[in-house]
Amino acid sequence: MHRSSLIWLASISIGLIVLYLLGIFVRGHYGIAVSVHNTSGQPLQGLGIKVEPSGKAYELGGLPDKELARVFVQPRTESHITLQYLDRNVPHIETVVAI
């Protein structure tokens, strides 16, 4: 290999490592992204995300049909994330992810 090819390969490798480390830092800073896409055909009311047990609650309010809501949550060790919403004034709680 020519010297310029080695320099180019080293530069690309270093760049990829830096991007990877930056991604780890950003994920640790912002937490986990929870996206809710309403495909029910009707608006959702009382939408919220909560880190259980005793974690922070994120109130999203209403979500019109075919709309998307996203929130970044900071889970704790041995916790889970729940989605809460009202369907025809009946409350529902669904586990999104268990950590």
In tens, the pLDDT along 66-88 reads 999 988 887 777 778 888 888 77
pLDDT at 3 over 80: no
In whole angstroms, give the CA distance from residue 45 to residue 59: 11
In whole angstroms, give the CA distance from residue 84 to residue 61: 10
CB 34, CB 70: distance < 8 Å: yes
Average pLDDT value for the chain: 84
Backbone angles phi, psi at 94, to 5 degrees: -120, 135
Taking the complete model, does pTM exceed 0.85, yes or no? Answer: no
